[in-house]
Structures are given as structure tokens and as C-alpha cells.
Amino acid sequence: MAELSAAVTATQELILAVNSGSSSLKFGLYRQPPGDCNPELLLAGGASGIGHPNGRLQIKDAGGTSKLDEAYQLNSQGHALKEILDAMERFGYGHPARIGHRVVHGGPHLREHQAITDALLEKLVAATQFAPIHIPAAVKLIRETEKLLPDAKQYACFDTAFHSTMPEVACHYPLPQRLYDMGIERYGFHGLSYESIVTRLGASLPERVVCAHLGAGASLAALRNGKSIDTSMGMTPVGGIPMATRSGDFDPGVVLFLMRTEQLSADQLESLLNHDSGLGALSGGESDMRLLEECAAKGDKKARLAIDVFAHGVRKMIGAYAAELGGLDLLVFTGGIGEHSAAVRNWICDGLAFMGITSGDPALCAKVKVVISEEELQIARITCRLRGRQ
């Protein structure tokens, strides 16, 4: 295996796609054939439970065969990345020459995928207030990657970049202009997932599409000719439809009420809206959709309510975007829930027959597709493209 890998990578550059979360890190290792921006998968996997005693590292080859599945005590994303790089070495692969990072938010001045420089990192740090949970972690991982792979070139792939095509009417909040000038606007997220879907469908993508990325974090996007014209998440990933533990949209007066009556600070409100709301709040503690479905099937009314509120929120957004697009040619489901829960898809589509959608099962409705989100592959594609511009 080592001899084969060395022979292959001698002329074909390795690209590592890194997709980090709050307690996880997914990756894909790809090779880039000379003159070709269609990276070929070599290894994929990730670390889970980072910062917790039950951490785990899993790696599979391109055929899906497990090469590593072990418990690990992982202290940080940087620690997880080091273990992944060490495993790649043991499997006979050299160090990657290019690393693409998913960066959730770049603020108002970083809206395009680009090579990482010291100047970019300074802008990213300056935008911390736009995503205080995500940006510091992203910068820390990039800096740790520099230490682990000092000769590699790094690239920032922004989740917000895909939505930079939205018209002003979709991204401008009804607030004073001075706040818009400060960067308070709708940015949108899950952009790499939506980009991967547009790339995957290619020429078969119709003019008017609504994409629903449904997972622990969830959003929808309205696409016209493959370009984003609106999306449900706003200035931060808290907005939009209800999610596993995030509130989604609601009357902003509720925040004022809580500030006055409960004397909640900004940090307490942030924790409430990000970690103590959504499906978990509605169900009484359970936020995993698979378990909610099981509980609802046994007659748990709170679990049923959580599912219904989720499906109701997604359905309303589909209707709104169909109106904005002037019709709907295709509804795409992706993300963990969107890809794997036929029941949730059907509950969402119940009531959409007036748009020609009779089922959430793509085998039964021509207007519905389930498309696997390929964020790591999209990061590799972007890294490949950016490398070609240098």
C-alpha cells in the first residue's frame, strides 16, 4: 500500500479537505490529477466527541472499507487533525500539499473563497463578533495546521460565499442604514453543501429550485439557475427554521422580554438560543430526530410536537420560496435528516400537492430529489480551482 501510494502521489498532488464543527472534525483526502480539477477520494472520515471523554476517530478508504475505528481522547480540533495526519502516514500517504478549510463566517469583508494569508486571518479575527462560537475556533485550527504542515498551502472556503449572489431585497434587514453599514445583514450558511448540490446536478439542475439542508443545523435556500436568491439563516446560523438546539426565527420582542424580566446577559441569551432551544426544548430534552421519531411512534406528545413544528417551519419556507421564484421545478432534500428520514420528508411535503409535490419520496414524485451533501469534496474542488489561479 505504501509503495502504491508513493507512486500515485509523486505526480498527483494531495489535497486535504477539513470540515470542523464544535466537537467534531470531518475530513477527506483527495488526489488531484495533473491539469484536472476533479479530485479523486483516497480517504474519508473524522473525529467525534472532541473535548469529551468518549472521543472516536474513524477513517475509511474510497471504497468504504474501514481502516481505523478506535476510541481516542481528543482535546481539540488541532489534536484530532494531528491524529488524522499520523494515521495517513501509517497508511502510506504523504503529507498533503494543499489544505482547504470550511470557514462558517467571514463577516462582511470575506465573501469569496481564497488563499489564507496573514492579512486574511487579521480580517477574520476582526469579524469575530459575527460568529463568536465559530471564528475563533477556525482561526485556532488554521494556526495549528500551519505548525503541523508548515510547507502546505491553506485555503479558506466560506459557507457564506455561495449566498453572495442574493439581491439586496433578500439580504437587507428592515433596520437603520447605519446598522447595515456595520455588517448587519443576511449572510446565509450551508453554502458549501448547496454548492456541492449544484455541482452534482450539473446540467440537469432546473431553473427554480428549493434546497432543504436538514440536519442538527438546518436551512433552506431558493436557487434560480443555480444561484442563491434567498436563504433562511440570517446574520448568524441561529436564524431561520427551528433546529436541533437552535431557536430559528421568532419575535425579537421575546429577547427584550427576557432581558427585562430575567435579566439575561448577552452570553446567557446566546447559550439559550444556540443550545437550549429548538427541538430539544420542545420535546423536553431530546434533539436527535431519529430518537424523536421513535418516541413519537410510542405516543410521546412532546416529541410529536417537536417534529410537527420542524416540518411546519420547513413547509412554510418552501412555500415562501416557491412564491419568490414564481413557481417550483424541483425540491431537493439533503443533510442528515433530509437524506435519511423518509418520514420527515413526507411530513414536510404533506400539504404541498398544490405545487405538484405529492410525496417526499423521490421515487413517487418527479419534483423531489434526495441528494447527498458533499461538503468535503466541494472544499477539495474549490481548493483545486484556487490553486489553478495562482
Neighbours of 388 (CB within 10 A): 10
Active-site residue flag, 118? no
The residues that bridge with 157 in the sheet, in sequence order, are 102
337 sits in which H/E element: helix 335-340
**What is the strand order of the sheet 98-103 is part of?**
66-71, 56-61, 40-48, 24-32, 13-20, 98-103, 153-158, 114-115
- DSSP label of 170: H
Give ∠ CA 386-389-390 in degrees, rounded to 5. Answer: 100
Which residues 6+ apart lie within 8 Å of 381 measured at CB? Answer: 37, 38, 39, 199
DSSP string for residues in 128-147: GGG-TTTHHHHHHHHHHHHH
Determine the distance from the C-alpha atom of residue 68 to the mean position of all C-alpha atoms in its chain, rounded to a whole number.
25
Q: What is the 3-state secondary structure (H, E, C) of 2-51?
A: HHHHHHHHCCCEEEEEEEECCCEEEEEEEEECCCCCCCEEEEEEEEECCC
3-state secondary structure of 29: strand
Q: What is the C-alpha to C-alpha distance for residues 72 and 52, in angstroms, rounded to an integer? A: 10
C-alpha cell at position 46: 473524522
List, in order, residues 6 or more apart from 4 with CB less than 8 Å away.
92
CA dihedral 273, 274, 280, 286 (to 10 degrees): -160
Nearest-angstrom CA–CA distance, 8 and 208 = 42
Per the structure block, which three cell numbers stand in for 367? Answer: 419534483
Which of 36, 69, 86, 159 does the annotation list as catalytic?
A: 159
Active-site residue set: 159
